[in-house]
């Protein structure tokens, strides 16, 4: 009964979920963006998070690696709960900076606006966290980075600075940077929203490839068709709560809530 994991309903032999979010709240001042979200993803799950703009889906994702501090709730990665303490202003703050940094290296985020470090080459971006955060020997990190570059189809861009790449290439480089830390969970925050339409495909192809190999991923996206193809679980967020969730076929073909029906009608 007394499990060390917060609210995790894991059996003794089952491994803890890769990501467990419990009763997550987030407010910006008086504006409550997340109103109690609970969500769990097992290893190998691809969870697509959909919803209209302002539904809180990006905020939720950013709370998982604490780029936004939740105002309430708990987050565990592989059974390890991120330590938080009250910040004295009705919110929370990290209680253990070291633990948070260690957990962050096991999550890898791919941003809407790529956020590659512009003063480093593509290779420099990819080896940065392994070498300077995780302490991987440089030549080992380079060897691994070259494999990753090959995988995302950017071998010839190894020594190029991000500003000289197209959006699609930058995002693929950012995905290689994410893979370089060998993450347990990948967090995709609208990875194709900033791309020109003709560049979306090349990025989605890389993400689909990762989904197929069994990566655990949380994917905030507007690409409904793509979400349906790659995800094994779809979460529909509206107004800061999970309005509906389930396997993609059920959620897409037989939406129960009126809001989801409306949402699907407007985007399809």
Partner 1 sequence: MGPELRSWKEPHRLVLIAIGIGIIVFAAVNMRWDWLPRYSWRLVEGVGTTLWLLVLTSVLGFLLAVPLGLAQAAGPWLLAAPARAFCTVIRGTPLLLQLWLLYYGLGSLFAQYPEIRESWAWPYLRQAWPYGVLALTMSFAGYEGEVMRGAFAGVPKGELEAARAYGMSPLTSFRRIWLPRAIHRALPTLAGETVLQLKATPLVATITVVDVYAIISRVRQDTYLTYEPLLLLALIYMMLTGVLVLAFRWLEAKVPVKS
Q: Site residues (CB under 8 A) for partner 1? A: 65, 67, 97, 101-102, 104-105, 107-109, 111, 113-119, 128-129, 132-134, 161, 163-164, 177, 181
Residue 193: both structure tokens together: 């929203």
Q: Do 56 and 34 touch, CB atoms closer than 8 A?
A: yes
Q: In the complex, what is the shortest distance from the CB of residue 132 to partner 1, in angstroms, rounded to a whole number?
A: 6
CB within 8 A of 89, min separation 6: which ones? none
CA 116 to CA 147: how far, in whole Å? 19
Rg of the chain over all Cα atoms, to the nearest angstrom: 19
Q: In the complex, what is the shortest distance from the CB of residue 9 to partner 1, in angstroms, rounded to a whole number?
A: 29
For partner 1, which is the closer residue by CB, 181 or 199?
181
For partner 1, which is the closer residue by CB, 104 or 144?
104
Q: If 0-12 CB within 10 Å is exposed, 13-18 middle and 19+ buried, where does residue 39 land?
A: buried
For partner 1, which is the closer residue by CB, 35 or 102?
102
Buried b / exposed e along 176-190 (16+ C-beta atoms within 10 A): bbbbbbebbbbbbbb
Q: In the complex, what is the shortest distance from the CB of residue 101 to partner 1, in angstroms, rounded to a whole number?
A: 4
CA 144 to CA 176: how far, in whole Å? 10
Residue pointed to by tokens 């998070």: 49
For partner 1, which is the closer residue by CB, 102 or 151?
102
Q: In the complex, what is the shortest distance from the CB of residue 21 to partner 1, in angstroms, rounded to a whole number?
A: 17
For partner 1, which is the closer residue by CB, 8 or 136?
136
For partner 1, which is the closer residue by CB, 177 or 215?
177
Q: In the complex, what is the shortest distance from the CB of residue 249 to partner 1, in angstroms, rounded to a whole number?
A: 32
Query: Would you say how long the chain is, in residues?
Result: 268
CA 169 to CA 185: how far, in whole Å? 22
Q: In the complex, what is the shortest distance from the CB of residue 243 to partner 1, in angstroms, rounded to a whole number?
A: 28
Q: Do 182 and 141 touch, CB atoms closer than 8 A?
A: no
Q: In the complex, what is the shortest distance from the CB of residue 217 to partner 1, in angstroms, rounded to a whole number?
A: 15
For partner 1, which is the closer residue by CB, 94 or 246?
94
């Amino acid at each position: 009964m007394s499990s060390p994991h917060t609210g995790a309903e894991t059996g003794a032999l089952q491994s803890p979920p890769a990501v467990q979010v419990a009763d997550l709240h987030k407010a910006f001042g008086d504006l409550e963006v997340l109103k109690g979200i609970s969500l769990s993803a097992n290893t190998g799950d691809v969870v697509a998070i959909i919803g209209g703009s302002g539904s809180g889906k990006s905020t939720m994702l950013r709370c998982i690696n604490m780029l936004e501090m939740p105002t309430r709730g708990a987050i565990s990665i592989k059974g390890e709960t991120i330590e938080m303490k009250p910040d004295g202003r009705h919110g929370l703050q990290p209680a253990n900076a070291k633990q948070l940094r260690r957990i962050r290296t096991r999550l890898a985020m791919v941003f809407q606006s790529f956020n590659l470090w512009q003063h480093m080459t593509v290779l420099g971006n990819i080896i940065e966290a392994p070498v300077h955060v995780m302490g991987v020997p440089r030549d080992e990190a380079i060897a691994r980075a070259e494999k990753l570059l090959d995988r995302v189809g950017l071998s010839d861009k190894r020594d190029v600075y991000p500003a000289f790449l197209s959006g699609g290439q930058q995002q693929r480089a950012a995905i290689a940077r994410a893979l370089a830390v060998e993450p347990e969970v990948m967090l995709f925050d609208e990875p194709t929203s900033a791309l020109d339409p003709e560049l979306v495909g090349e990025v989605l192809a890389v993400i689909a490839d990762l989904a197929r190999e069994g990566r655990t991923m949380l994917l905030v996206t507007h690409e409904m068709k793509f979400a349906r193809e790659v995800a094994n679980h779809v979460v529909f967020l509206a107004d800061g709560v999970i309005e509906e969730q389930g396997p993609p076929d059920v959620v897409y073909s037989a939406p129960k809530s009126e809001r989801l029906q409306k949402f699907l009608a407007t985007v399809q």
